[in-house]
Structure 1
Amino acid sequence: MGSNFISPNRHQQYLFPPSLQDWLPEDHLARFVVDIVSQLNLRPLSEAYAGKGSKVYHPDVLLSLLFYGYATGLFSSQKIEQATYDSVAFRFISANTHPDHDTIATFRKRFLDQLQPLFVQMLMLAREMGLLILGKVSLGGTKFKANASKHHALSWGHACELEQQLQTEVQELMRLAEKADAEEIAGGMTIPEELSRRQDRLAAIASAKEKIEQRAAERYAQEKREYDEKAAARAAKAKQSGKKPHGRDPKPPEQGPRKKDQVNLTDEESRIMPSSDKGFEQAYNAQAAVGVDTMLIVESHISQAPNDKQEINPAISALASLPEELGEVEAILADAGYYSDGNASACEEAGMEPFIPPRREKHNQPLAERFAKPGPLPAEADPISKMKHKLKTIDGRALYAKRKCTIEPVFGIIKHVMGFRQFLLRGFKAVTGEWTLVSIAWNIKRMFALNV
């Protein structure tokens, strides 16, 4: 019985060249990326090239390559360049041209600052497409590894010990230099080279210590403000009740660096942060706010703080600065890591209803406890008490339950589907731009899914 296979012919000649439009199905993500980028105002990027040098690739091509690359798990400029040869989708985006990796990397680095306006423009497009409903947002944070090793860091304690050792060695080398004619020098040692090497290391250590001291001063100022607030609240409570409040008095902060304070020598603006495996890693804290109804990222920023308590105010400020056409943020859902009386009050003052529990709730609560109704709210209750009461109501619990099923999947998909787990760029400003690029890539994927 004869076979009925379709015979492949890789030497087929075409009478007319094939059209790029025939390469991809109509509902392909690459087509959607090109369509979205074509609707963005790229004039500031285009004008940067005007009348300078030889012909260059148009910004819409390079942007589309980056957006599609980050959306599909290709972050390296070298891999994106190779994909313009290997991948039909990348060939379609680049119109069968092949920008080299230096061009892609330089473009990404040069125009990082321009990504934030494009991020907002994309939100406006989502609004026009009927895909964005602002209203309620979920706020969350996750750690991404920095492009630096935690082992390439210098702590304050080790820096002091190493500095003392090198200073002693410099003195010994100076002594040997003075008596070089009278004493035999160890074989292979060149005193000027050894002195220069140690002096360079001492200069690097001095620079690292200066940065550690600066961070320690910033930390002390923050801890002093928190201490003063706690002490003032405790004093006010004592004055109101006429009794000493329960618990210990807050401990005043200590000035100066601590022995384990450190700076990374590869990316000094990254920080040591606790990781999900109960260890520590050199990382940045990436923050995002997503629409509860659409899971589109509407605000994103980078923090160097290992916890999230200080991230409410930057998020509120960014959300308040969004164009009026996008609507207003009615409520913010955040986990207990964001809770403080000041943060809850800041949300109220911004006209955004806070849903931030003061502590983590236990899993598998008893049935009676889960559906218990809270007692009546006193008429003179302050905003904090109102929020806590609201979180105990059935409606409040139901709304807050949407937090983890909106923000957490976004982080999960970015890390495990898109494959973005570590920043390629170094430095706070560059990492901020790259996180905006990741947020744009996520929004494109999400808009594509909602639009299908």
Structure 2
Amino acid sequence: MASGKPTFKPYYQSQVMAIPPTLDELVAKGHPVRIVNDIVNRINIQGLLDAYHIKGTSSYHPQMLLKVLVYGYVSNVYSSRKLETACKENINLMWLSGMSYPDHNTINRFRGVRLKDALRSVFEEVVKLLAEEGLLSIEEVYTDGTKIEANANRYTFVWKKAIQTNKEKMKKALGEIWEYAQSIAKAEDNLPEPPDFTDISPKRVQDTVDTLNAVLAEKPHTSKEMKAKLKYVSREYPKKIAEYERKEAILGNRNSFSKTDTDATFMRMKEDHMQNGQLKAGYNVQISTSNQFIVNYTIHPNPTDTTTLQAHLEQHKASYGKTLETITADAGYGSEENYDLLEARNIEAYVKYGMFDKQQSEHYNTKQPFSADKLFYDPAQDCYICPMGQRMHYIGDGKRKTSTGFEQTSKRYQAKNCSGCPLNGACHKSQGNRIIEVNENLKRHKAIAYGLLNSEKGIEKRKQRCYDVEPVFGNIKQNHGFRRFMLRGKEKVAIEWGLLAIAQNIRKKAA
């Protein structure tokens, strides 16, 4: 058995060095912090410099603050307080900041105020720099969206449907009081005609309440119950209607918003940390990628991807001065409106529609054999042939508008006699003779999309979409732990996501 004392390496905590090492020597070569430093030094940040005023006290240099923020997002440090601490303790950030020590208020103000109008140009400069190096394409992209939870308190719902229901209750209550006033008023009172409550406003409610008070206040036979009801209506209804109008103005075309972040909409999240299936206030983040680099991003309050494409394409053109050449996306974008939009802009669209994946199955034709898209069409007679051989003739057009105001037109065809048909009930479930609707324009777009998606290039695009755009969201959420925005309001959320996008591109370049 060995004997003696253990041997340790020398440990001299107070050792004085003749030539102390510099911070640059302590930062590893090829470290991501050096890539952040190199990229920010190379891009044009004039838009950021323009955000500062000439007058006032001297500020920390915006280039340094931008480097600190970007590297914070690269290394999963999103909190301004943690960045303040890291600038004093983390060798990489001490080197990056040049031993400057901005406090959390300075960092937060820079992120929320100074970057508001400048971050988009910074992001675009980074993308252009990467494109010049041949790492990505600005013309050919893959597009997808994800929902990220907003920094909003729970149970702060404001629902459009609830407001409409409450307004209907108010209309009903006012109508009942008016009917009561008419029943006890004498002919000489000259009670005016009942007001139109189709669209109530604070002024209309106030005028109605004033009239009812004038009529019923002097009537000795007015019941105590009605007097109490009128008193409550007089006190509460005008201010409630004003509140409802304010909330409806915030809602716009949305169905809900959160009181603590009025730009956020309640939507169902895939990443449900509470595991209760509740709707959460959040934002729909849209990105376009190339080689897993983010080329474009937009923030939307609406939960569906379908209605986001136009604004997303317009942002791409505004950023780079030209439209896309090709776009690849999943069935969430395959609407008639989007196909029209892409066709008008001469963008080659590898965009699926709702039934595309099912049509690839060899069992597709055996399922739902009586659906409208499987019926034979006779172009000479402009009619469809039902499963029993009966002609279905054109009976007119049907029109409807989508939530965005886009008008869709469908041709309607009806069978002459479905009574006694042995397939009645299997062919269709409706009462009477079967009617089908055929959207010729959408049908044409689907045929074009089907051909593109099943071409050799289309198959390759479909495969690449799965490992180009989708892993970017997975990397940001799962690997880097960003599942909830820290800032509130759409403008600040856009800043936060812009920093994440820059960080993603730098991490990808470093890899």
TM-score, normalising length: structure 2 = 0.64
Superposed CA deviations along residues 350-387 of structure 1, whole A, max 9, x for unmatched, are 22211111126669976899xxxxxxxxxx99454221
Matched ranges for 1:93-242 at <5 A: 93-111=96-114, 112-155=116-159, 208-214=243-249, 218=253
| Distance change in 2, residues 1:352/1:10 (3 Å) | farther
Contact 2:250/2:262 (8 A) holds in 1: no
- 1:330 is aligned, of 313, 322, 325, to 325
Contact 1:212/1:262 (8 A) holds in 2: no
Letter in 1 for 2:295: V
Unaligned runs of 5+ in 2: 171-234, 365-440
Secondary structure at 2:464 match in 1: coil
Contact 1:154/1:262 (8 A) holds in 2: yes
Secondary structure at 2:349 match in 1: strand
Contact 1:288/1:297 (8 A) holds in 2: yes
CA positional deviation for 1:47:
4.8
| Distance change in 2, residues 1:409/1:363 (3 Å) | farther
| Distance change in 2, residues 1:202/1:274 (3 Å) | farther
Alignment pair present for 1:77 and 2:80: yes
* Alignment-derived partner of residue 377 in structure 1: none
More strand by share: 2
Superposed CA deviations along residues 120-152 of structure 1, whole A, max 9, x for unmatched, are 111121122222223421101111111102412
Alignment pair present for 1:275 and 2:269: yes
CA distance in 2, matches of 1:434, 1:201: 41
| Distance change in 2, residues 1:360/1:60 (3 Å) | farther
CA positional deviation for 1:207:
5.8
CA positional deviation for 1:443:
1.2
CA positional deviation for 1:319:
2.4
Secondary structure at 1:321 match in 2: helix
Letter in 1 for 2:478: H
* Alignment-derived partner of residue 402 in structure 1: 464
| Distance change in 2, residues 1:48/1:281 (3 Å) | closer
Superposed CA deviations along residues 286-323 of structure 1, whole A, max 9, x for unmatched, are 110001xx211111000011100011112222223343
Unaligned runs of 5+ in 1: 165-198, 220-260, 370-379
Question: Percent identity of the aligned residues?
Answer: 30
| Distance change in 2, residues 1:98/1:211 (3 Å) | same
CA distance in 2, matches of 1:215, 1:445: 38
CA distance in 1, matches of 2:35, 2:126: 13
CA positional deviation for 1:416:
1.5
* Alignment-derived partner of residue 320 in structure 1: 317
Superposed CA deviations along residues 189-219 of structure 1, whole A, max 9, x for unmatched, are xxxxxxxxxx99996x656522443367646
Contact 1:348/1:383 (8 A) holds in 2: no
| Distance change in 2, residues 1:355/1:362 (3 Å) | closer
CA positional deviation for 1:4:
5.0
CA distance in 1, matches of 2:268, 2:117: 29
* Alignment-derived partner of residue 292 in structure 2: 295
| Distance change in 2, residues 1:350/1:288 (3 Å) | same
Secondary structure at 1:275 match in 2: coil
* Alignment-derived partner of residue 351 in structure 2: 356
Letter in 2 for 1:26: K
* Alignment-derived partner of residue 175 in structure 1: none
CA positional deviation for 1:93:
1.1
* Alignment-derived partner of residue 219 in structure 2: none
| Distance change in 2, residues 1:208/1:85 (3 Å) | farther
Contact 2:284/2:303 (8 A) holds in 1: yes
Contact 1:150/1:272 (8 A) holds in 2: no
TM-score, normalising length: structure 1 = 0.71
Secondary structure at 2:30 match in 1: coil
Q: Aligned residue pairs: how many?
A: 359
Secondary structure at 1:272 match in 2: strand
Contact 1:208/1:263 (8 A) holds in 2: no
| Distance change in 2, residues 1:423/1:208 (3 Å) | farther
Contact 1:271/1:283 (8 A) holds in 2: yes
Matched ranges for 1:345-384 at <5 A: 345-359=340-354, 382-384=444-446
Secondary structure at 2:134 match in 1: coil
| Distance change in 2, residues 1:51/1:13 (3 Å) | farther
CA RMSD in angstroms, aligned pairs only? 3.2
CA distance in 2, matches of 1:128, 1:213: 47
Q: Which has the higher contact order (CA 8 A, sep 6+)?
A: 1
| Distance change in 2, residues 1:385/1:361 (3 Å) | closer
* Alignment-derived partner of residue 391 in structure 1: 453
| Distance change in 2, residues 1:42/1:270 (3 Å) | same
Bigger radius of gyration among the two: 2
CA positional deviation for 1:51:
4.4
